[in-house]
Amino acid sequence: MNLKIAVLPGDGIGPEISAQGVAVMSAVCEKFGHNVSYEYAICGADAIDKVGDPFPEETFKICMDSDAVLFSAVGDPKFDNDPTAKVRPEQGLLAMRKKLGLFANIRPVETFDCLIHKSPLKDELVRGADFICIRELTGGMYFGEKYQDDEKAYDTNAYTRPEIERILEVAYQYALRRRKHLTVVDKANVLASSRLWRQVAKEVAQKYPEVETDYMFVDNAAMRMIQDPKFFDVMVTENTFGDILTDEGSCITGSMGLLPSASTGEHTPVFEPIHGSWPQAKGLNIANPLAQILSVAMLFEYFNLMEEGKLIREAVNASLDADVRTPEIQVEGGAKYGTKEVGEWIVNYIKNA
């Protein structure tokens, strides 16, 4: 297979973890006889510094001309600490999602037995937890009408029936391939937008009688994720709620550095770790590359290259079992491995498999 990949390293630790993702992808393609080419593009704070735009037109064109995008992270403290900044790195991420029509964000949450002790939850609660959060990505408050002055500000949480229907269809397709249980998360007791979500969800559910569908207010869902994470199989929700709940879900595993994601929709799909740019760690060779590497596994699986994805997951699990880990998940007394060393170990595993 021929693959043309757009690589967007972004800011902070992005270039460091991106390099390991690319190295793993290249190793897998070599092993399975695929041809892969890469085209690099700027985004985020890096792009603002260079051209004044967090998602330049040239970057958009490179993404559109590619089969998939391997993205890392955006964000920089100089923008976080300046509430008056009109252009921000995160606007580039939103622009990418909107321009590529990436309305479905898929975030798997699964635990690793050797890292259960790192979870803030008790072993008996978290062991075996395995669910997918599906977040609507191009609607809601993040993209609705906005206003701000010195005395008043608002964000509009607008949704249309077609936007809700298409994300629900994605969620049901995932539920059908898994344990046939879908939880629709909203705030229908308070918000009009959520009442439309629930109305449409109840209509779409009739098309999938083989799937058990339940409905949960977002505050209850947040609590249930902590009390009983194994309850969930597939969860679907709107943009803002999904942003919050998926970060909560990442903590269940014990490290945000372990979870990948995919964003799919109308044009080129994007594969990325769920964590941010961690600018404090930039250049220190301590960032965990596993979420980026597992994003590469999701990329292969998107193109139905299941054996390739399986080998990456096997290599990641083997590295964890061998205590080849970056500092935040290393066992006490374990050897020191940096971002680059973990990536190299996984690449060698793949080559020798």
pLDDT digits (tens, 9 = 90+) for 282-323: 999 999 999 999 999 999 999 999 999 999 999 999 999 999
Number of independent structural domains in the chain: 2
In a domain, 108, yes or no: no
- Residue-wise pLDDT for 51-80, tens only, equals 999 999 999 999 999 999 999 999 888 887
Catalytic residue among 113, 214, 219, 321: 219
| Block residue for tokens 């890292």 | 115
Catalytic residue among 243, 282, 323, 340: 243
pLDDT of residue 111: 84
- 247 belongs to the catalytic site: yes
pLDDT of residue 5: 98
- 187 belongs to the catalytic site: yes
pTM: 0.88
Catalytic residue among 67, 155, 247, 323: 247
Question: Which one of 206, 229, 252 terminates a domain?
Answer: 252
Helices vs. strands in the chain: H and E counts, helices first: 13, 12
Same domain (yes/no): 55, 135: no
- 323 belongs to the catalytic site: no
Per run of 10 residues, the mean pLDDT along the chain (length 353 residues) is 96 96 98 97 94 96 98 88 77 91 93 82 88 94 90 95 97 96 97 97 97 97 94 96 89 81 95 92 95 97 96 96 91 91 98 93
The length of the chain in residues reads 353
Q: What sections of 33-115 are H helices per DSSP? A: 44-51, 57-64, 77-80, 89-100
- 219 belongs to the catalytic site: yes
Same domain (yes/no): 220, 284: no
CATH assignment of the domain containing 225: 3.40.718.10
Same domain (yes/no): 242, 273: no
- d(CA 266, CA 297) in angstroms, rounded, equals 21
Same domain (yes/no): 218, 237: yes
Catalytic residue among 187, 208, 233, 337: 187
Catalytic residue among 99, 142, 172, 233: 142
In a domain, 27, yes or no: yes
Question: Which one of 252, 285, 313 terminates a domain?
Answer: 252
Same domain (yes/no): 134, 189: yes
Domain of residue 244 covers: 120-252
